[in-house]
Structure 1
Amino acid sequence: MTGLETLAGTATAGTLYGIGVGPGDVRYLTLRAAGLVSAVDVLAYFAKKGRVGNARRIVAPLLAEGRDERRFEYPLTDEVPAESPEYHATMGAFYRDTAGQLAGLLRQGRSVGLLAEGDPFFYGSFMHMWWRLAPDFPVEVVPGVTGMSGCWTRANLPITWGNDTLAVLPGTLEEERLVERLRLTDAAVIMKVGRNLAKVRRAVDAAGLLSRAVYVERGTMQDERIVPLAACQAATGAYFAMVLIAGQGRRL
């Protein structure tokens, strides 16, 4: 057994692993995550229609040929509002079916690693599997570097100082609520920008924070883009994008 295998540990039969694979660069995986990618019997991941899947792409350099994989394709991503009845019905059915398939593998005594971009417990689809399967099967969650951490590091932007408060906000919030929340915090991370870019920019401007806001697209990935939010005039942004507003607390 190599030193890496000793540190990372092995996979246990019949166990579901939520493997946080970080923000985009495979080098940001933890030792435990990297070890499990190779050790589990089945590697599973979610993917958008017609796409390989970002989590799968991240770990590709670690995979040997012939791995047993399960690809679960989202029926929807951002085509319809997440608050709509259609989204809830469609995605609820999808997650129930996916959990059933994973349960079947676990009952066979197979270890399953379900990849999660960033951290599994931070806006992760893995959570929908966790609450369905944890009552009946052993589950281990392997934390990962969050997308926001990777992005503020790549932007060279210390996000909080001293007693700064940090708000993490979804760009899907109504514009007035975004403005309200932004006015109450010292620093902010706005996730789920994508099709909400124009609204997010207006809200940041209305809160008086546009001069401090930075737009990060595909942070830590090969095609990352980091620019002031004020320079983003497009109505929509990339699916993997966020806005960062650093705090200005006391610097010693």
Structure 2
Amino acid sequence: MTELGKLYGLGIGPGDPELLTLKAHRILTTVPIIAYPASENGKSLARAIAAEFIRSDQIEIPIHLPFNVNESSAPYYDQAAEQIGEHLKTGQDVAVLCEGEPMLYGSFMYIFQRLSGQFPTEVVPGISSTLASAAMLGVPLTYRHDVLSIIPATLDEIKLRDRLIVADAAVIIKLGRHFAKVRKILDELGLLERSLYIERATQTEQKIIDITEVEAKEVPYWSLILIPSN
């Protein structure tokens, strides 16, 4: 009977290739097969981060995900899991690249849910953009007994407001088209002055902009607002 391959979930950090952990680098450069999330046009931030470490003889499996937020990504993950599983069944190890931290809003979670019960699996933690952003902005997130809240901007206004009212410190992620809504709530709660905006943290295209000068229509998905503790 053929020994099963091992599934790896590699956290590869927020953008700077030098923030890859030694363990992630070792696995990335030795496995025969790598997979990574990609847009329908083939672009992949995960692959771009790891590009200089990918060998020409490695098999690559792009996990194409839909642009349309109203379209379910489940069938795409089903297809990718089936494809990855076929390689694992033949004894080949597969590393799935995941921006940031795989178990914190990471795309790898959906592959993990589908395959970890069938194959040996190891998750390698990565640096999350939520924490890297604090370093890039040069502000401590929390002190002593403060509670940090990580809040998706996709929440409706009522839930978003309720979460922010009780937060000692917060990171608001997945901004994109939700920026205007978030900015309005921050203004209403008197939090705008404390709020710091950054996009594409640690990447070569990183931008830190005064939140009052941010153009809502130009805010990318890879951006966040950090509200440090008082």
TM superposition score normalised by structure 1: 0.87
RMSD of Structure 2 on Structure 1 (CA): 1.4
Q: What's the offset of the Cα at 1:230?
A: 2.1
Distance 1:236 1:204, change over 3 A: farther
Q: Using the TM superposition, give the Cα deviation of residue 233 of structure 1 relative to its aligned residue in structure 2, in angstroms.
A: 3.7
- What is the aligned length? 228
Give 3-state SS (helix, strand or coil) of 1:180's partner: helix
Give the drift of 1:67. 2.1
Is the CA contact 2:9–2:102 (under 8 Å) kept in the aligned structure 1? Answer: yes
In 2, the alpha carbon distance for the partners of 1:233 and 1:31 equals 38
Contact 1:214–1:229 (CA<8 Å) still a contact in 2?
yes
Q: Give 1:161 deviation, angstroms.
A: 1.1
Give distance in 2, aligned partners of 1:75 and 1:192. Answer: 16
Q: Look up the SS of the partner of 1:141 in the other structure.
A: strand
- Taking the aligned partners of 1:166 and 1:235, their CA distance within structure 2 comes to 28
CA contact (8 A) 1:44 1:69 kept: yes
**2:21 pairs with 1:45:** no
> Which residue in 1 is equivalent to 2:69?
80
Contact 1:197 1:236 in 2 (8 A): no
The secondary structure found in structure 2 opposite 1:39 is: coil
Bigger mean CA deviation after superposition, 161-170 or 224-233: 224-233
Residue type of the alignment partner of 1:206: E
Please point out which of 154, 172, 184 is paired with 2:166. Answer: 184
1:140-179 pair list within 5 angstroms: 140-179=122-161
Q: Distance in 2 between matches of 1:51 and 1:229?
A: 31
For 1:88-116, what per-residue CA distance to the aligned partner results, in whole angstroms no more than 9, with x for missing partners?
Answer: xx311111111111111100110000000
Aligned to 1:118: 100
Q: After TM superposition, which residue ranges in structure 1, 4 or more long, deviate above 3 angstroms?
A: none
Identity among equivalent pairs (%):
37
Letter in 2 for 1:63: I
Deviation at 1:13, TM superposition (A): 6.0
Which residue does the alignment assign to 2:19?
28
Which residue of structure 1 lines up, in the alignment, with residue 77 of structure 2?
Answer: 95
